[in-house]
Amino acid sequence: MEGLGVDQVEAAEFQFEIENVFLVEGRGTAISGLVELGVIHEGQAIDIHGLHSKRHGRIEAMVIDGERIESAEAGQPVTLLVTDLTPGHIGPGMLATHAGGERHKELRSRVPRDYEKLAA
């Protein structure tokens, strides 16, 4: 991301924590969760970070409350249909980031979580 201004880098970065993974018959793998940082766009290349691995995919479609959308921003719960990944590659608790995104532990430290609110 060299050569980008601060605003452009922030707009390009995102973090999405995966809560659920399921197979959509005839379409592919879907992941749902909350956008925690930045903005996610349909068609965007993503990395899925596990504890010891990183997989690559692309957002084919996005849905919020049953309606197809083109982008989602921090604070929005969303379901993503992703290409090049199977449910066996992805699990709850993993993080999706923009392609080339930072490692999982570094991202978690940048976004403080309030677990009391999540339990409510």
pLDDT tens series, the chain, 120 aa: 343 333 333 445 788 889 999 998 888 899 999 998 899 999 999 999 877 778 899 999 999 999 999 999 999 999 999 988 888 888 888 888 888 766 555 555 554 454 344 444
Indicate the pTM of the whole model.
0.74
CA-based torsion, 67, 73, 74, 80: positive or negative:
positive
Among the listed residues 94, 64, 93, the one whose alpha carbon sits nearest the alpha carbon of residue 81: 64
The verdict on residue 7 lying in a domain is no
Provide the residue range defining the domain that includes 63: 37-119
Q: How many domains would you assign to the chain?
A: 1
In a domain, 19, yes or no: no
Report yes or no on 97 lying in a domain.
Answer: yes
First to last CA, the chain: 38
Q: What is the CATH number of the domain that holds 71?
A: 2.40.30.10
Question: Which is it for the CA torsion 33, 113, 55, 11, positive or negative?
Answer: positive
Give the list of residues 6+ apart from residue 5 with CB closer than 8 angstroms, or none.
none
